[in-house]
Structure 1
Amino acid sequence: MVVQKDSKIVIVGAGCFGLSAAYHLLKRGYIDITVLDKSPILPAPEAASTDLNKVVRSSYSDVFYTRLAREAIATWKDREEWGDAYHESGVLVLLSDSEGDEPNASYSDKAFMNDTAEGALIDPLKSTEAIRAIFPPGVQTAFGEQCSGYLNKDGGWANASQGVVLILDKVKSMGGRVIPDKATISLLKEDGKTVGVICADGTVYNADLVVLSAGSWTASTFPELGLSSKCLSSGQCVAVISLSPEEAQSYKDCPVYLNFNTGFYIFPPNDQNLVKFAIHSGGFTHTVVSRTAAQQDAPVTAPVFPAAPNGQGSLIPKIALKEMREALAKVYPALATKPISWTRMCWYTDSSDDDWVIGFHPSDPNVMLATAGSGHAYKFLPVIGQLVADAVEGKMDPLLVRKFALDRPPSLATPSRHNYLARPLDLSQLCTAEDLLTV
């Protein structure tokens, strides 16, 4: 379809993809942009992009993402635009001769080559002793005897919620409408084409183009689009430890630790003395049945948030908590015995190959998908909307059109995850308040 500057564009989802798309479309002169979100509060507390922090790295086995990440990092550094949301702590990447499963080990080696080729400021760390030396003297580490890696100084982490607030304010200040508490329940159709969306409260928003950026709710909200195999909703388990001011001072100059071989990553403490850690894996899936437009039941994956006793975060499976504690002990043993302050199920939308889904739906030219962050989209918040705007305008590089197409063939790229297989979420096996206490 041909989109004009005055075309009505409705974006479903006020997360990373949706807000960045709105921002860049407004920058290009589009004047009728409406962003709808199901959450009554924005940033949406349950969205993956609303978080303590996200890793900002250029360490990718695919050089496209390395280059785009370096562009994003340069933008994050603009304090006038992004304030102090970005923290350049450096990112320690473990290489393939460290602990881990061999099939996934080559990802970090390719990332090292790409970072080097693209001019990242890196320090090779060829021994366990060299790795230990980059940590502050008072921090106890427990690396294996055969470790090697590199410190990418052009990276760190972003305060995720702060970044979302900043871009949300930008969209509003540029004339975009961002409307909370509007749960989209279906596409509005005329003659087989989408002409808007229908919300749960009966409100209808007409549109020349609908951009679907509903994150982990995408497949279950629009079952008629057949997205279940392309946009898998996976729950990733996150845990947070609260440090004393003295402890936080000891760890504050640590880099982000990132081990693609095991999937484990951990941040330095934030300004609230909180340390977040997780394992980048296939996560857990929760399957529901949605009714399609043809009145047929379709099983799809969807988020679920088991409430925590203290009302903070959400409960995670016991097995995941055990795995994260064991991984933490291999990095910071002094933290592994501390009580967990809270946990969270952070729901991603995963493609089968880590690549995003950005482009028009093959069966409906008035619907564009901008989703499937696959657990690595947030760092691109300042720039990812450029890709969506290019797709809207038909200006995207043909290679990228194929790369991000919904109906693309399976990719042979090296996966970033230690274990890409998702496990079914068993709601009877969630951790309890007692499980969070000191072990």
Structure 2
Amino acid sequence: MTTPSLNHSSSILIVGAGTWGCSTALHLVRRGYTDVTILDPYPVPSPIAAGNDVNKIMEHKELKGPDSDARSIAFATCTRAALDGWKNDPVFKPYFHETGFIVSGNTPEIVQHIKEEDIDTSQGDFIALETADDFRKTMPPGVLTGDFPGWKGWFSHKGAGWIHARKAMVSAYTEAKRLGANFITGTPHGNVVALVYGKGDVIGARTADGVIHRADRTILAAGAGSDRLLDFKKQLRPTAWTLSHIQMTAEECQLYRNLPVLFNVAKGFFMEPDEDEHQLKICDEHPGYCNFIRDPHSPDELKSIPFARKQIPLEAEARAREFLRDTMPHLAERPFVFARICWDADTPDRAFLIDRHPNHPSLLVAVGGSGNGAMQMPTIGGFIVDALEGELVNELKDVVRWRPDLAVNRDWKSTQNRFGGPNRMMDFQDVKEDGWTQIGELSK
């Protein structure tokens, strides 16, 4: 099959206006592409986009010596570029808070794992935290009042902190639109129901209103929803995590300003309250939830199907409160005012998937954030456009390739080296209807 040559007047269609879709649109129009259309069933910021969040962790990982594996080199390449973008790109710079980052564990085994995987004191500015008092001293008096039972960790001041993901995504969208990108959002006009094929290639996408949007190149960047539009040969597993918010007073927000991110890889994490709603976000940590159902096309196969819900399982609430009792017991019983589940898509090795489809050369897939996608926002779109142009750097090319060979006999229940909760993958199908929080519902 013959693929039309790519030039700045080529029509390019992006399916998905989330974190990666908005970033890709921005980089395309910045490079001079003049016919860029983005489709999404929701206005930006989408309520189901993982990046529609008040804050996400930004952590730059340095390589641990010359023997680092290819995946680590690729991830370091991405985060190094992203950090530069957060610090210097005017579209993103206002939304990066370089407050520092604490990574920790609460068992000897997990602490050793962190030390082996993440900590290189010869390269970073890591300060060891050995006692509860060490943890408390990283923040103003009155913030960390817990006993930190069994906790040990490391505090890094530079190149890490948090990003206001929602505002950054809206900023990217606004700038891309100003530069000429055409966003078609909302149902039915932006809701892609199928990719459209012609002569063995992808020639665009069809939306719920029956319109076929033709394009010279199509980029599938619909996050956890991508799996419903294309057979990924088991390379994607839609996986969800749980988050909740606590209402803070204006006085408390002043005390909690500019705090480093506190992350326990088996317990959870928190960041400073957002400046608009004065809410403190708490995430419990666990390997993730799936929503397994029988695949209607392959009844012997399970398939994780994403759904939106602004509640979390009661077991997730209990884990979040346990994290608070360890760290900030004075907040442990305060009511949650908001909660939701947050979806991403795991690849078999948790490396990104950015490549032309082997059978459809006009289709580029840009998926598989694997829990690390939002912090790449300033520059991931540039790498995606590089792949579209056939110019992706060697440090990434082999790692992010189309690789169903790694998904043969995939274990859908694999924790993929994540910790916390029951230390196993969980299934929303096992959560009964009365097993969910009812935040805001009882007062209606």
TM-score (norm 2): 0.85
Distance of 1:129 and 1:82 partners within structure 2 = 35
Q: Which of 104, 110, 134 is matched with 2:117 structurally?
A: 110
**Rounded Cα–Cα distance in structure 1 between residues aligned with 2:362 and 2:88:** 35
SS across alignment from 1:404: coil
Name the residue aligned to 2:326.
330
Aligned to 1:53: 55
The equivalences for 1:171-250 within 5 A come to 171-181=176-186, 182-220=190-228, 222=229, 225-227=230-232, 229-250=234-255
**Unpaired runs of at least 5, structure 1:** 307-313
Q: CA deviation at 1:270?
A: 1.6
Letter aligned with residue 336 of structure 2: I
Q: SS at 1:233's partner residue?
A: strand
* Cα distance in 1 between the residues matched to 2:95 and 2:161: 11
1:422 and 2:425 aligned: yes
Provide the identity percentage: 27
Residue equivalent to 2:348: 352
Asked if the contact 2:288/2:425 (under 8 Å) is kept, the reply is yes
Q: Which amino acid aligns with 2:87?
A: K
Q: Structure 2 matches for 1:55-94, cutoff 5 A?
A: 55-59=57-61, 62-78=72-88, 80-82=90-92, 84-94=94-104
Would the aligned equivalents of 2:132 and 2:147 in 1 still touch at CA under 8 Å? no
In structure 1, C-alpha distance between the alignment counterparts of 2:167 and 2:354, rounded to whole Å:
25
Aligned amino acid, residue 106 of structure 1: H
Aligned residues: 415
Distance in 2 (CA, whole Å) between partners of 1:83 and 1:60 is: 21
| 2:327 alignment partner, SS class | coil
Match of 1:16 in 2: 19
Residue 373 of structure 2 corresponds to 377
Q: Secondary structure at the match of 1:328?
A: helix
| Partner amino acid, structure 1, of 2:185 | P
Q: Are the counterparts in 1 of residues 103 and 262 from structure 2 also a CA contact under 8 Å?
A: yes
1-structure distance, mates of 2:439, 2:203: 51
Change (3 A) 1:159 1:226: same
Distance in 1, Cα, partners of 2:439 & 2:278: 22
1:169 aligns with 2:143: no
Q: Report the Cα offset of residue 423 of structure 1.
A: 1.3
Question: Over aligned residue pairs, what C-alpha RMSD do you find?
Answer: 2.8
Kindly tell me: are residues 108 and 162 of structure 1, through their superposed partners in 2, closer, same or farther at Cα, counting changes over 3 Å? farther
TM-aligned CA distance change 1:56 to 1:436, over 3 Å: farther
Residues 91, 257 of structure 1: 8 Å contact kept? yes
User: Which SS does the other structure have where 2:364 is aligned?
Assistant: strand
Q: 1:150 to 1:187 in 2, by over 3 A?
A: same
Secondary structure of 1:164's counterpart equals helix
Distance 1:250 1:47 in 2: 30
Change (3 A) 1:92 1:341: same
For 2:226, give the aligned amino acid: T
1:135 aligned residue: 139
- 2:45 aligns with one of 40, 43, 46: 43
How far off its partner does 1:89 sit?
A: 1.6
Shift in Å, 1:215: 1.0
- Paired with 2:122 and 2:103, the residues of 1 have a C-alpha distance of 13
1:121-160 to 2 correspondences below 5 Å: 121-139=125-143, 140-144=145-149, 147-160=152-165
Q: Tell me the distance in 1 between the aligned counterparts of 2:405 and 2:155.
A: 33
Dislocated runs of 4+, deviation >4 Å: 288-292, 295-299, 434-437
**What are the superposed Cα offsets for residues 315-350 of structure 1, whole Å, 9 maximum, x if unpaired?**
211111112211221121111111111210111111
